[in-house]
Amino acid sequence: MVGRGDEPEVIWARPERTGRGPKPAYRRGDIAAAAVRLADAGGLDAVSMRHVAAELGCGTMSLYNYVPRKEDLYELMVDAVSGEHELWEPTGDWRADMLRVGHQTRALMRRHPWLPRLMSGIYGFSPNALRYLEHCLACLDPLEVSRGTKMELVAMLNAVVTMYVANELAVAERTRSLPWSEERETAVRIAYLGSQVATGAYPRLAATFAEGAGPVDLEAVFERALGRVLDAFTPRG
Amino acid sequence: MVGRGDEPEVIWARPERTGRGPKPAYRRGDIAAAAVRLADAGGLDAVSMRHVAAELGCGTMSLYNYVPRKEDLYELMVDAVSGEHELWEPTGDWRADMLRVGHQTRALMRRHPWLPRLMSGIYGFSPNALRYLEHCLACLDPLEVSRGTKMELVAMLNAVVTMYVANELAVAERTRSLPWSEERETAVRIAYLGSQVATGAYPRLAATFAEGAGPVDLEAVFERALGRVLDAFTPRG
DNA sequence: AGCGCATTACGTACGGCGTACGTAACTACG
DNA sequence: CGTAGTTACGTACGCCGTACGTAATGCGCT
C-alpha cells in the first residue's frame, strides 16, 4: 500500500497508476471535477469526502485510494480551476497582458467563489499553477527588471486580486449558509456602521462615508487597483 | 429570549447586558480572550465551542447565550486582537506612518497566525477595526488625494500584508496538524518543484530559480512590497 | 500457467464538531 | 409578588474526517 497519509507527499508526485492491482475506476480529473461541481453549487462546505464520493458514485472510503487527505482534494480543486486560465501568446505590451491576467483571475474567482479561501491557505505549485506562472513571466519578458522582481509583481497582483474578490464575495458566501437574505444581512451591517459613525468618534470615517454616499463602483475600484500595482513596478524614467 | 441566531444581527449591536435575568457570568472580552488563547496555542482548529466553554469553565451550551453562532466568535477574536494595534499621534510623515502600520500589522499576524485566515472571510467593522481605520486615515491627513483614494490605500496595504503573511505561514499552519515536521514537508515540496522545473517545460521559471538559488530574504521582500504600495499612491510630481 | 501480493473497493466505527431543544434556577419590572 | 425574559447546561441529532478490517482484483514473477 502506498502513501495513505503516513508520509509527507505532494499529491502531484504520486503516480496516478501503479502497476499492480485492479484498474482505478477514476482519474484525478474526474474527482477534481466532481468536487468543483459541488463547491460551485453549494459552497466549499458542500465538499465533504462523503459528498464527493457520492457524486462520483463510489463508497466514501474508496476516495482515500486517490486522495490521502482532504487537503489534497483541495489542491486538486485549485489545480483544476487553474487550468481554466486562458494562456495566450504575449503581445509585447506587458502592461496590457498583465491587466488581462488580472481580469481573468477575477473572473475565475467569481465563477468559483470558494477559490479565494483556498488560495490563501495553499502552498500552490500544482501543474496548472506552474503553467500559469510561466505564462505570466512570458508576458513580462519586455519588462526590464530582475527576474526576482517579476515574481514579486505576479505575487502582488495575485494578492490584490484575491483579497479584492474575497471582500467582494464575503457577504454572499457568508449568507449562503444562513436562513436570511444577503440584502438583509448587508442592511443590518450598514445600519450598525452608520450608527457607529454617527457617534462622532470617527470623524474622518464619517466624512468619507458622507462624501461617497452612493454605491461604490466596484468595477472602477478594481481597475484602479490593478493599474496602481502595475505602476508600482514600472521603472520610472 | 433574544437573538439566538434566528435574526440577522451584528454582534456588536447586541447589548452585553439586558435588564432581566441573572447576571451574565462573563464579559465578551473574557470569551474573546479565551478563544484567542486557544487559537494561539493550538491553531484555529482548536477553537471549538466546547473547548472555549471548557477554557472559560462553563457548559458548552452556555456559550450560546453570549455568541449566537460560531462565526460571531470569530468576529470577537478578530476584534480582540485588532485592539492590539498601537495607535500613535500621526507624525505628519504619512509614508513613515503607513510603513509603521504595515509592519505592525505583520507583527500582529505573526503573533496570531490564524488571523490571516479569518481576515479574508470577515466583513469586519468591529469597534477596534473602526478605531484602526480612523487611525490610518489620520496618518494619511497630509496626503493630498481624495478620501476615497485613502480608503483604497488602506485596503490595498492590508491586502498585501495579509496575503504576504498568509503565504509566509501557510506551511507552518498546514504542518501543525500533520505528523511530520515542517522542514520535511517543505523539503518534499521543493523537491517536487525542482523536478518539474528540471523537465524544461518552464524555462523562465527555471531561470528564476537558478538565479535566486539562496534562501529568499522575506524581510526585504516584504519591505519592498510595502514601499511599492505606498509609491503607487504617491502623486507624481 | 499459476502463484503471490500490492492495490482497489467499501462497510463499519470512533471521536469530534455545531447547534436545536427542553428544563431548572434566577431576577428585574409591572 | 407574580411573571416574563434570561442564564445555565445536559442531552441528542446529524454531520464531519478518517482508522481499520476484509474481500475482490489483476500485474509481475517464477
User: What is the tens place of the pLDDT at every residue in B136-181?
Assistant: 999 999 999 999 999 999 999 999 999 999 999 988 888 888 888 8
CATH code: domain B87-233 is 1.10.357.10
Across the interface, of B125, B160, B233, the residue whose CB is closest to A156 is B160
pLDDT tops 60 at residue A3: no
**What percent of chain A has pLDDT above 70?**
96
**Which residues fall within 8 angstroms of residue B20, CB to CB, at 6 or more apart?**
none
Say what the pLDDT of residue A69 is.
94
Q: Round and report the angstrom distance from CA (B70) to C1' (C18).
A: 8
Residues with CB under 7 A from strand D: A 4-5, 19-23, 47-51, 60-61, 64, 69-70; B 1-2, 17-18, 20-26, 58-62, 64-66
Distance CA B139, CA B90 (A): 5
A61-75, A141-155, A219-233, B163-177: least confident range = B163-177
The radius of gyration computed from the CA coordinates of chain B, to the nearest angstrom, equals 22
A172 in contact with B at a CB cutoff of 8 Å? no
B93 or A7, higher pLDDT: B93
Distance of C1' in C7 from CA in B126, Å: 53
Query: Does A83-232 carry CATH code 1.10.357.10?
Result: yes
How far in angstroms lies nucleotide D26's C1' from the CA of residue A77? 31
Residue B70 pLDDT > 60 = yes
Of the listed ranges A64-78, A118-132, B62-76, B136-150, the one predicted with least confidence: A118-132
pLDDT at position A124 over 80: no
CATH number at B11-81: 1.10.10.60
The pLDDT assigned to B9 comes to 81
Tell me the C-alpha distance between B92 and B71, whole Å. Answer: 38
pLDDT at residue A147 greater than cutoff 70: yes
A204–B137 CB contact, under 8 Å:
yes
pLDDT digits (tens, 9 = 90+) for B177-236: 888 888 888 888 888 999 999 999 999 999 998 887 677 889 999 999 999 999 999 998
Provide the pLDDT confidence category of residue A139 given band limits of 50, 70 and 90: very high
Query: Rounded to whole angstroms, what are the CA distances from B109 to B12, B50, B223?
Result: 23, 25, 16
- B 2-61, residues with C-beta < 7 Å of strand C: 4-5, 19-23, 47-51, 60-61
From the candidates A75, A151, A176, which should be mutated to test the interface with B, based on the most B CB atoms within 10 A? A151
CA angle, B73 as apex, B107 and A200 as ends, to 5°? 75
pLDDT over 70 at B4, yes or no: no
Kindly report, residue by residue over A162-182, the tens digit of the pLDDT: 999 999 998 888 888 888 888
- pLDDT surpassing 80 at residue B95: yes
The dihedral built from the CA positions of residue B144, B147, B153 and B158, taken in this order, carries a sign that is positive
CB-based contact, A137 to chain B, within 8 Å: yes
Domain ranges within chain A, ordered by starting residue: 11-81, 83-232
Contact assignment for B180 to A233 by CB distance below 8 Å: no
Does B173 reach chain A within 8 Å, measured CB to CB? yes
Write down the mean pLDDT value for chain B.
92
What is the pLDDT averaged over residues B31-50?
98
Grid cell locating B48: 471549538
Buried b / exposed e over B107-119, threshold 16 CB at 10 Å, is: ebbeebbbbbbbb
Which residues of chain A lie closer than 8 angstroms to B151, CB-CB? Answer: 208
pLDDT attached to residue B91 = 98
pLDDT of residue B41 exceeding 70: yes
Average pLDDT value for chain A: 92
Distance CA(A229)–CA(B236), nearest Å, equals 15
**Mean predicted confidence (pLDDT) in A60-87:** 96
What average pLDDT score do residues B63-80 get? 96
pLDDT at B49 over 90: yes
Please compute the mean of the pLDDT values over residues A59-66 and round it to a whole number.
96
Is any atom of nucleic acid chain C found less than 7 Å from the CB of residue B147?
A: no
Q: Give me the pLDDT at residue A27, please.
A: 94
Q: Torsions phi, psi of B6, nearest 5?
A: -100, 5
CA distance B231 to chain A (A): 6
Residue B22 has pLDDT above 90, yes or no: no
- The C-alpha atoms of residue B210 and residue B68 are separated, in whole angstroms, by 53
